[in-house]
A and B are shown apart, each in its own frame.
Chain A
């Protein structure tokens, strides 16, 4: 009897070990692609703190079209912060571009919220017949790529003589319909009985929106901010088409202009550009995931 119990116990331990091994294996396989994700970041960081001559030695085969292969060191032989010094203390143009990017992104997101949050509220709370049709229309607008609307954007901006100003990028983006769907997802999760109760108590629609809607639907709004920041910090097509003046460019357009000969500077600038995006990503990951899920909601 005792023996049997022992065997049973052993079996259980064996099963446990197998299950744990299995789990560890799955984890390992799933984490493996992480190497590919981290790899570019590591290259950026090591490249940005390398002495320019060392860097040139590693990269020369790539841009001089030689037969030898590229090489790299994860620990630079001659670490140097010269690039950071140049970028942060000696070169004001980088600051201007950084500020351009920040201002554009902030204006776009601010404008989108001002316009999009009430619209999302209207879709989520006031079910009118025409609303359904308009909603479908907005879905289509959201899905049209920039290239399809590029000419129409250009025509309007030209008529309003906004071309070659940062408003040429900001204004059309403010009326993008994408954030509306994210906010809509947040508002939809509020039970409608709450609004009814507030109405019975005599609250007006404006009060219901600002006192109930905004606080309870804030997850949708926050996810619109997070997704919006990642999108517009990375914006390229619009400024490339509508802004000629390089001093108005965002960072995302300026970085690719840096040539191989200034590779260290480029790595350094790229790394600094990456920092705000990573910051928003880390702080807002929950809302990012929430937003991804909301963006799939359908009426």
Chain B
């Protein structure tokens, strides 16, 4: 195919999408960058004032800290849990049903199970009921009345519901990675006398770097959606251990504090861009 013709075809097929992206993302984001350097109401140029404000804003800093903590706890946890499930699953032929079970939470709209979550985690909820029963049975502790949603434990409630919702696709991805490893490689290692764990460590894991990259990226993308659970279970101003970046953005939006929002959007966007590019670079290096 001639180069000119190829470029023309590319442009024609690409045009609608690119125009839409330009109108809805690129151009307005330019406006946001501009706004991040001006005041909200009058639009006067203020230099870095907005950036300085947000970095002195206590709520924003708590939110940044919590969001980072959440990602750093959840992603490694999710990646390993997914692998621990996928590894034995790869040896079973009838894995369809089990995969469906793990994937199912992905299909459950958050709003439909919020009430159940509340029933589980409230002070008088199911968890405390079960714990108290166990305590009674073993005689080790008495009744437990911790309210998980208004203490530091709220953070772990979010972690649990994130894992609950996202394990399914990590299992699917790991599984497709593990099953994609050529059987000859594993057989050769077996003949050479490598045991099960040695095979996992020296053959399977090094072959799954691409899969790992994918899983990290996707679970990162989905980690921002935990806001739904946090908001629905605990409202716009939850306990400070689960006050996330998403809460800050939303509350600024409600209060029309667009100058801070613009600065925070630029910061968050650039930070994510750097992280994504770094991840891509690390991965490309491994490929080469």
A residues engaging B (CB < 8 A)? 23, 26-27, 29-31, 33-34, 36-37, 39-41, 43-44, 59, 61-62, 65-72, 114-116, 118-119, 121-123, 125-128, 131, 134, 136, 138-156, 171-172, 174-175, 177, 180, 199, 205, 209, 230, 233-234, 236-237, 240-241, 251-256, 263, 266-267, 270-271, 273-274, 277-278, 280-281, 285, 288-289, 292-293, 295-296, 298
Contacts and interface: CB of A to CB of B under 8 A. Distances in A.
A254 B232 CA distance: 11
A177 B246 contact: no
A152 B265 contact: yes
A296 B110 contact: no
Interface string B62-78: 00000000000000000
Given A36-B164, A152-B265, A153-B28, A295 B245 contact: no
B199 interface: no
B273 interface: yes
B124 A62 contact: yes
Given A143-B217, A152-B24, 20 more contacts: A31-B97, A33-B101, A37-B102, A37-B105, A62-B119, A69-B124, A116-B17, A119-B16, A143-B276, A146-B224, A147-B265, A151-B262, A171-B24, A199-B1, A205-B9, A234-B228, A240-B250, A277-B109, A292-B218, A296-B217
A68 B243 CA distance: 30
A184 to B, nearest CB: 12
B173 interface: yes
B23 interface: yes
A123 B92 CA distance: 37
B13 interface: yes
Nearest to B221: A143
B176 interface: yes
B232 A256 contact: yes
B137 interface: no
B93 to A, nearest CB: 10
Interface in B84-100: 85, 88-89, 91-92, 97-100
A67 B132 CA distance: 12
27 contacts: A26-B91, A26-B92, A30-B92, A30-B98, A34-B98, A59-B119, A62-B119, A62-B124, A122-B10, A123-B14, A143-B217, A150-B249, A150-B265, A151-B262, A152-B25, A152-B31, A171-B24, A172-B24, A199-B1, A205-B9, A234-B228, A274-B109, A285-B100, A292-B218, A296-B173, A296-B213, A298-B283
A147 B245 contact: yes
Contacts of B205: none
A230 B35 CA distance: 35
B7 A128 contact: yes
B278 interface: no
Contact of B228 (A131, A138, A143, A237): A237
A61 to B, nearest CB: 4
A36 B228 CA distance: 20
Contact of A256 (B114, B123, B214, B250): B114
Nearest to A289: B172
A277 B16 contact: no
A256 B216 CA distance: 31
Given A151-B32, A252-B111, A281 B24 contact: no
Interface string B14-40: 101110110111011101100100000
A165 to B, nearest CB: 15
A153 B32 CA distance: 10
A142 B269 CA distance: 12
Q: Chain B contact residues (Cβ within 8 angstroms of A): what range?
A: 35 or more
B269 A175 contact: no
A61 B17 contact: no
A266 B211 contact: no
B159 to A, nearest CB: 14
Residue of B97, B113, B220 with highest tally of chain A CB at under 10 A: B113
Contact of B98 (A27, A251, A252, A255): A27
A142 B116 CA distance: 31
B25 A175 contact: yes
B118 interface: yes
A225 to B, nearest CB: 14
B13 A119 contact: yes
B179 to A, nearest CB: 11
A151 B101 contact: no
B261 interface: yes
B13 A209 contact: yes
A18 B288 CA distance: 44
B125 interface: yes
Which 4 pairs across A and B sit closest by C-beta, in order of nearness?
A296-B214, A152-B28, A175-B20, A122-B13
Given A37-B104, A61-B124, A154-B253, A126 B109 contact: no
A146 B198 CA distance: 43
B172 A251 contact: no
B107 A281 contact: yes
Given A144-B272, A270-B112, A277-B107, A67 B145 contact: yes
B244 to A, nearest CB: 9
A119 to B, nearest CB: 4
B154 interface: no
B103 interface: yes
Contact of B23 (A131, A156, A253, A296): A156
B281 to A, nearest CB: 11
